[in-house]
Amino acid sequence: MSLLQIEGLGIDFGGLRAVHDVGFSLKPGEIVSVIGPNGAGKTTLFNMISGVYAPARGRVVLDGEDVTRMPPHLLARRGLSRTFQNLQIFQSMSVLENAVAGHHLHERGSVFADLFALPAARRRSQASGESARALLDRVGLGRAAEQEAGSLSYGALKRLEIARALALKPRVLLLDEPAAGCNAVETEEIDHLIAQVAAEGVSILLVEHDMKMVMRISNHIVVLDHGEKIAEGEPAAIARNPRVIEAYLGAQATEAKHVDG
Amino acid sequence: MRLSSKATTLLILAAVIAIAPVFFPSSYYFRVGSLIFVNGLAVTGLVILIGYAGQISLGHAGFAGIGAYACALAPVHLGLHPALAAVLGALLSAAIAYLVGRPILRLKGYYLAVTSLGFGILVSMVLSNEAQLTGGPDGMAVPELGLRAVLKAIGIDLSNTEFWYAFSGLVLVLGAWLALNLYHSPTGRALRALHGSEVAARTVGVDVAHYKLVAFVLSAIYASVSGSLLALQNKFITPDVAGFMHSIEMVTMTVLGGAGSVLGAILGAAILTTLPQVLTIFQEYEQLMLGLVMMLVMIFMREGLLPSITRRIRGRAE
């Protein structure tokens, strides 16, 4: 049975069909990648699924419940978490505090207890602090815990976002270009991390430009072009699909030619 | 042992309040001190709203007005003790902040600034125009708190200015303690998270509208208690306490000292409370100087005085 079901999802921006009639599904522990050339609507699709944009058409069903147009904080309560392509870090907080903030749903309590630092409030803070440190270790940022988040490298911030998203203990995790701006070693680390998280039963929806990574870790691939789904299937089948090669790899080949000059 | 930033802040604040009187040549300085503490309290509330949650209110003097006039009116009309009247004022301010903030804080953008501006003007107009109740622009008398007499009976004999210095200093330390507790708590993290990135805060489950409302209500209570303290120590109150200029002053103090830091904002309150007293000799230039100071701080120390200075010192030490 699928955990996340996307049905005929679509949205328009001022007459432009940004995304049209996209549907697919995710099973628990499955890694599904959404690929496509720049401007194909991948991030827009993510924003609709995660409640940032309200879709004009279609449905998002999470574990049997229709969650279409539900605000992000309610989706978070139902176990859907995400990272962002353009980083959304809490800049003025330390690395550790960013990860602790991800525990919001597990640590929130009465404002009164928080104001007076009652034992209950301190216990909640301490528990989320310990969990946050473990998560930072897991993404390789344990030693940077006390640093200001703004001082980290781009690749490290990407991993911090993953740690923050994992803090929610999600059932579905949406990762928007987690390896962008990372070097080969970092990419491989993220690669392992994603596979591990999926092995624990979390469904992962991935947007990523690193084709090697996508082909290596995905169970299933959805290809978008001009806002529409042009193909979906197993990595090997997608790699051979002529429409995909034309739309996506073709575009890359053209880009490569431009670079070669 | 390294002290936590919370303990350090409270220690510095308490030490300055306790030691400063040694250097006071006259009772006038106790009076200036207690004014600083009263403003410092309102500003600490604004640190929660502006510094933690990143929201701006241009009408907080309205809440100070409610707190002040509660202490003037409730003892006369409801027969309440002035201390209970202050509590009533705080509850009323909280309720109004909730009712005003709830519909507004669901919207993104500058709506809170504009709405609170309107609210502040409304309160000061009501206080000026309901002359038969409030005495209008001439103001009205406020009854004695009575705590000083109680202290005297148990052998602690303080002059009026000394008492208000100590009492408002104590309330300020308490207010700072609560605000610092909040900073390091789950609620404080949620507020700072939504300040940093609203969309990211929402995706980790923060109900952004709810937490903005929490910050707005808490800061309204601080402003209300500050207004009550001012009324009780002056024993007289005019609608100026709720005026637009007072709202602007509060925000200016907060931002000048450093909205993100409780100690910084209190420093801002101290500077802007003291400056007019020092500058009375140059009265014509007072506004000019204030404007100049503000502009220079914003150009060269955008985070506010204290955070910028500590950052520079730390940078040099490393």
Q: Does the pLDDT value for residue A259 go beyond 90?
A: no
Q: Answer whether B33 touches A (CB < 8 Å).
A: no
pLDDT in tens, A60-116: 999 999 999 999 999 999 999 999 998 999 998 999 999 999 999 999 999 999 999
Chain A 153-182, residues with CB within 8 Å of chain B CB atoms:
164-165, 167-168
Task: Let me know whether A64 and A3 are in one domain.
Answer: yes
Range from A119-128, B172-181, B276-285 carrying the lowest mean pLDDT: B276-285
| B94 contact residues in A (CB cutoff 8 A) | none
Q: Note the pLDDT of residue A180.
A: 85
Q: Does the pLDDT value for residue B182 go beyond 60?
A: yes
Which residues are bridge partners to A172 per DSSP? A80, A203
Q: What percent of chain B has pLDDT over 70?
A: 97
Nearest-5° Cα angle at B302, B298 to B304: 90
Q: Note the pLDDT of residue B155.
A: 86
Q: Which domain holds residue A161?
A: 92-169
Q: Does the pLDDT value for residue A177 go beyond 90?
A: yes
Task: Let me know whether A179 and A68 are in one domain.
Answer: yes
Task: Let me know whether A154 and A240 are in one domain.
Answer: no
Is residue A151 within 8 A of residue A94, CB to CB? The reply is no
> Which letter does DSSP use for residue A248 in this model?
I
d(CA B303, CA B309): 10
Q: How would residue B3 be classed by pLDDT, with cut points 50, 70 and 90? A: low
Q: Note the pLDDT of residue B209.
A: 96
Task: Let me know whether A33 and A135 are in one domain.
Answer: no
Is residue B1 within 8 A of residue B132, CB to CB? The reply is no
Among A108, A165, A167, whose Cβ lies nearest the Cβ of B186?
Answer: A108
Is A105's CB within 8 Å of B187's CB? no
Q: How would residue A134 be classed by pLDDT, with cut points 50, 70 and 90? A: very high
Q: Note the pLDDT of residue A146.
A: 94
In a mutational test of the A interface, the residue from B107, B178, B185 whose CB has the highest number of chain A CBs within 10 Å is B185
For residue A65, is it within any domain?
A: yes
In a mutational test of the A interface, the residue from B184, B204, B207, B302 whose CB has the highest number of chain A CBs within 10 Å is B204
The CA-based diameter of chain B, rounded to the nearest angstrom, is 63
The whole-angstrom distance between A39's CA and the closest CA on chain B is 21
Q: How would residue B1 be classed by pLDDT, with cut points 50, 70 and 90? A: very low
Q: Note the pLDDT of residue A248.
A: 67
Task: Let me know whether A162 and A221 are in one domain.
Answer: no
pLDDT in tens, B238-294: 999 999 999 999 999 999 988 889 999 999 999 999 987 777 777 777 778 778 877
Q: Answer whether B264 touches A (CB < 8 Å).
A: no
User: Of A142, A169, A196, which residue sits at a domain end?
Assistant: A169
Q: How would residue A261 be classed by pLDDT, with cut points 50, 70 and 90? A: very low
Only one residue has tokens 């001009």, namely: A226
User: Of A138, A169, A200, which residue sits at a domain end?
Assistant: A169
Write down the mean pLDDT value for chain B.
92
Task: Let me know whether A65 and A190 are in one domain.
Answer: yes
Q: Does the pLDDT value for residue A228 go beyond 60?
A: yes
**Mean pLDDT, residues A134-140 taken together:** 95
For residue A85, is it within any domain?
A: no
Chain B: residue nearest A71 by CA? B202
| ipTM of the prediction | 0.91
Q: Note the pLDDT of residue A256.
A: 53
- Listed by start position, the domains of chain B span 5-21+30-317
**Mean pLDDT, residues A161-188 taken together:** 92
Total structural domains within chain A? 2
Q: Answer whether B268 touches A (CB < 8 Å).
A: no
Task: Let me know whether A153 and A174 are in one domain.
Answer: no
In a mutational test of the B interface, the residue from A110, A111, A161 whose CB has the highest number of chain B CBs within 10 Å is A111
Task: Let me know whether A132 and A144 are in one domain.
Answer: yes
Task: Let me know whether A165 and A185 are in one domain.
Answer: no
Across the beta sheet with A65-66, the strand order is A65-66, A57-62, A4-13, A16-26, A228-233, A220-225, A31-35, A203-207, A172-176, A80-82
Among B184, B195, B204, whose Cβ lies nearest the Cβ of A104?
Answer: B204
**Mean pLDDT, residues A129-156 taken together:** 94
User: Of A169, A202, A222, which residue sits at a domain end?
Assistant: A169
Residue of higher predicted confidence among A121 and A181 = A121
Task: Let me know whether A53 and A39 are in one domain.
Answer: yes
Among B182, B200, B207, whose Cβ lies nearest the Cβ of A114?
Answer: B182
Q: Note the pLDDT of residue B279.
A: 72
Only one residue has tokens 């919370």, namely: B6
Range from A154-158, A187-191, B212-216, B307-311 carrying the lowest mean pLDDT: B307-311
State phi, psi for A23 to the nearest 5 degrees.
-145, 145
Which residues are bridge partners to A31 per DSSP? A204
Assign domain B5-21+30-317 one CATH number from 1.10.3470, 1.10.357, 1.10.10, 3.30.465: 1.10.3470
Task: Let me know whether A56 and A122 are in one domain.
Answer: no
Task: Let me know whether A195 and A67 are in one domain.
Answer: yes
Q: Does the pLDDT value for residue A255 go beyond 90?
A: no
| A88 contact residues in B (CB cutoff 8 A) | 197, 199-200
Write down the mean pLDDT value for chain A.
91
